[in-house]
Structure 1
Amino acid sequence: MITENYYLTLTCPNRPGIVAAVSTYIFELGGDIEEAQQFDDKASKRFFMRVSFSCSADSQSLKAGFVEIAKRFDLTWDLRAVKDLKRVLIMASKLDHCLVDLLYRWRIGELPMIISGIVSNHPREVYSSIDFADIPFYHLPVTPETKLTQEAKLLEIVADSKVDMVILARYMQILSDDLSTKLSGRCINVHHSFLPSFKGAKPYHQAHARGIKLIGATAHFVTSDLDEGPIIEQDVTRVTHGDTPEDLVRKGRDLERTVLSRALRYYLHDRVLINGATSVVFSD
């Protein structure tokens, strides 16, 4: 009998008995819990949980049997076999450092995913030094006149390729409110700033002008409110009065790569749960 590894995530109004019910269910099916994390948000009175376990039962049987528990506790939940990799669409512009980093981490197995495609507002020739192998590439040039048409094509790609998550790897186009809403919970952006400070364009130049001693990067979910979506991951590095704006940009690129890859890794391992305007991240 083959044993599979699974991730179970759930959120619900908090009440006693949730952990007991979940762990008992897994035990009675012969499962072995390898990792369990939970969080009781006192402010929203909601409970969040992630369980990693192994079991010989198949995915459909596990899901069917879990329905009664889900109804009893009013759960919003997901159960996934680890082998069923998530499908990711990466979007980029001329700045390719995040794109290259994600491709490298994917190739060495650090980011277990299926890359459904790469979308750019620039032609394939811009990335002539990058080996995309057999990953589909989509050139969707954006102008004020073509923006809505290209966003419609993007949604077609997302649907046709069964994309689970869109990653904005320094994609330098602002998504429309309509597109942001349609991709709600399914789109992660990396912002070259320690949000909520210095939102919008050229945040490193803004930081330099203010004499900031720490710069940062932020990975967050995309919403219709620019740079206001639930934050997943952040990091900072120290700078000095002797650093130029160009130095800040250079140091910031390292932060952006690290922060985006961490956020994506958390997502791929089902460690991120949205909690209103914030997120619960069960770090590894």
Structure 2
Amino acid sequence: MHTFRERRLQNFLQNYQHRARLVISCPDRPGIVAAVTSFLYEQGANIVESSQYSTDPEGGTFFLRIEFDTPMMATRKANIEKAFAPIAQTFQMNWRFRLHNDLQKLAIFVSKEEHCLLELLWEWQAGELLADIAVVISNHEYMRESVESIGIPYYFIPVTKEKKAEAEGKQLALLNEYKVDTIVLARYMQILSPEFVAQFPAKIINIHHSFLPAFVGARPYERAYERGVKLIGATSHYVTDDLDEGPIIEQDVARVDHRYHPEDLKRIGRIIEKTVLARALKWHLEDRVIIYQNKTIVFN
């Protein structure tokens, strides 16, 4: 009997077998869109979504994301990429084609807080998160039953200051074993080492429980209460070596006032956190996020 996870993956593969997307960044100049859309027309593609942006029409950088349907895309992908290469060279493009059902393998890291992990599992079970959740890794045992009940492997790897390098070595071994593409820090309350981050550049997504750049680091809700803020929020961003300084993907806020104590702020914040993280991860998985300098272009 197939597990729920296996059935979910089969459904994804069947439902999107003809859809693909093309993501491009290049120096801006006339004719880019015409060249790309004409090429796709010649390949028998039907464009279902197109988004574009230029940092400056005169000498800036141009970004384009196109989603399209075309018959037998999976078997034709290599030939289509080969045929597109001369156009890409002409316009000095950084580009990639990706099949819609070429699902990325996710590893979710979690500590004690469960809300972000449970939201991602629910979205995945509902068919809203187009990915293969390959493994969940935690420095606590709390979430094992919820994860394993739907067929996802769960690994407990304790982390201490003295054995942090050893723990990260075990984590990296698992990520390699499961061929993980993207890591999601779903309220994983450990700082990853530069050596770990270097293994997954622009492929680690974190949720920080404040509206960055305010209240970087630990205890943001307590510090927000002490400061008497009127807005609290959450930020999902890519992880870099600088703590909570990576390119921001998504943010949201809620209004509060003097009546809210730290526990009230945390309760409201949990709702924001799980929503922001889920949105950011979906956009990443759907190739809607392009990193530009230390910012992001998000075609949402």
Tell whether the structures are fold-level matches, with TM greater than 0.5: yes
- Aligned CA distance change for structure 1 residues 107 and 231 (closer, same or farther; 3 Å): same
Q: CA deviation at 1:153?
A: 2.3
CA deviation after TM superposition for structure 1 residue 146, in Å: 1.6
Q: Aligned pair 1:275/2:279, yes or no?
A: no
Alignment of 1:156 with 2:173, yes or no, is yes
User: Which residue of 2 is the match for residue 46 of structure 1?
Assistant: 61
Q: What is residue 266 of structure 2 aligned with on the other side?
A: 249
Listed as ranges, the matches of 1:1-284 within 5 Å are 4-42=18-56, 45-56=60-71, 57=73, 58-123=76-141, 126-127=142-143, 130-132=146-148, 133-283=150-300
Number of residue pairs the alignment of both structures matches: 280
Describe the shift of the 1:177–1:189 C-alpha distance in structure 2 as closer, same or farther (beyond 3 A). Answer: same
Give the secondary structure class of the aligned counterpart of 2:146.
coil
Counterparts of 2:147 and 2:296 in 1: how far apart (Å)? 34
Deviation of residue 175 (structure 1)?
Answer: 0.5
- Cα distance in 2 between the residues matched to 1:3 and 1:105: 21
The amino acid across from 1:279 in the alignment is T
Give CA-to-partner distance per residue, 1:102-141, whole Å, 9 cap, x none.
Answer: 0011001111110010011113xx1255243221112221
SS in 2 for 1:130: helix
Q: SS of the residue aligned with 2:280?
A: helix
For the 8 Å contact 2:17–2:101, the answer to whether it is kept is no
SS at match of 2:29: coil
Distance 1:36 1:154 in 2: 38
- Could you tell me how far 1:69 is from its partner in structure 2? 1.6
Calculate the aligned-residue CA RMSD, in Å: 1.6
Unaligned 5+ runs, structure 2: 1-15
Q: Which moved more, 1:54-63 or 1:26-35?
A: 54-63
In the alignment, is the contact (CA less than 8 A) between 2:108 and 2:135 conserved in 1? yes
| Partner secondary structure for residue 223 of structure 1 | coil
Classify the secondary structure of the residue corresponding to 1:144.
Answer: coil
Among the aligned pairs, what percent are the same residue?
A: 46
d(CA) in 1 for partners of 2:87, 2:159: 47
TM-score normalized by the length of structure 2: 0.90
Q: Which residues of structure 1 form unaligned runs of 5+?
A: none
CA distance in 2, matches of 1:245, 1:28: 59
**4+ residue segments displaced more than 3 Å:** none
Question: What TM-score do the two structures reach when normalised by structure 1?
Answer: 0.94
